Amino acid sequence: METLANLESFVRSAETGGFSAAARRLSLTPAAVSRNVATLERNLGLRLFHRSTRRLTLTDTGERFLLEIRDNLEGLQQAISSVATNGAEPAGMLKVSMGLNFGADYILPMLPAFLACYPGIRPDWQFTTRQTDLIAEGFDAAIGGGIEWGPGVVSRTLAPLHLIAVASPKYMKKRRPPTDPTQLSAFDGIAWRSSRTGRVRERIMRNIEGTSVPVKLKETIVLDDPEATCRAALLGLGVTLNAVCHVLPHLESGALVRLMPQWYIDEGPISIYYASRTLLPSKTRVFVDFVADAFRRQRLAERFAGSIG
């Protein structure tokens, strides 16, 4: 019988396309993962991977073997994990990726209560504007919106990611507010250029009646960070389209005003992402549940909804 380590090294290497990425996920060295896979191939008398300097690819035999064992392996691991953690407190390093401002404003304030419940967990959180590779970089979870992930990543929806048009009262003081998105072109625009694509996107605004209108701000000012566009609007430099979660504190304080309250842009959900639904370490499971419960108690889904005029 093959050892669980050899089989798991094979499955994770196949999922991530390399020994290094699999090693980060398994908390092993790349050499150990490579050795485990080589041992498995030798014991089976089969070649499971085509190896190159850049990437691993499965052989036809490897693809068939992966299909045969993946579900059985996860079931076995789940049974082992369930027995091993029964009655034990969640513990260990919890590596999470999230956006800087969203994380600091909404997730970081949850940390004292979370650690009071689970003192054995050690947070290792990264606040970044780039999209991380959750599996390859060894994250337990990631929080964000408008993100497309590859295979092997599942999500739990927390709130909508809705964008709305905002400006400062100072900027709007002597200007007639727009009544629909087609009138935004008459204003100075603070546009957001994606640092990933290098483009300023044309988006679709919609209202609660279901009418949709393409909209692209005048590119009076172009910035590559949504928080920077929010701050530019606070300075009275023009109109910007920004996520409700980013501008909400400024709307509540009166530093910004919402234009066209019935119109918004739907960018999909804000979600918490993790690598596996069945093989979830207890530290990750309690974190996911804690964040989802906090969003529910604070009614953040309702507060982030741009469709509520």
Q: Where are the alpha helices (DSSP H) in 86-188?
A: 100-102, 111-117, 169-172
Is the pLDDT reported for residue 190 higher than 90?
A: yes
Q: What pTM, to 2 d.p., does this model score?
A: 0.71
Please name which of 263, 166, 159 lies closest in space to residue 210, comparing C-alpha atoms: 263
Q: How many CA atoms lie within 13 A of 249 on its CB side?
A: 10
Q: What is the pLDDT of residues 28-65, one digit of tens each?
A: 888 888 999 999 999 888 899 998 777 789 999 999 99
Poorest-confidence range of 21-25, 119-123, 242-246, 271-275? 21-25
> What is the CB neighbour count within 10 angstroms for residue 53?
4
Output the six-digit token pair for 228: 């920077």
Is the pLDDT reported for residue 309 higher than 60?
A: no
Q: Which residue has the tokens 């909209």?
A: 215
Q: What is the pLDDT of residues 141-168, one digit of tens each?
A: 999 887 776 666 788 899 999 999 999 9
10 Å CB burial of residue 157 (0-12, 13-18, 19+) is middle
Quote the CA–CA distance of 245 and 220 in Å, as a whole number. 24
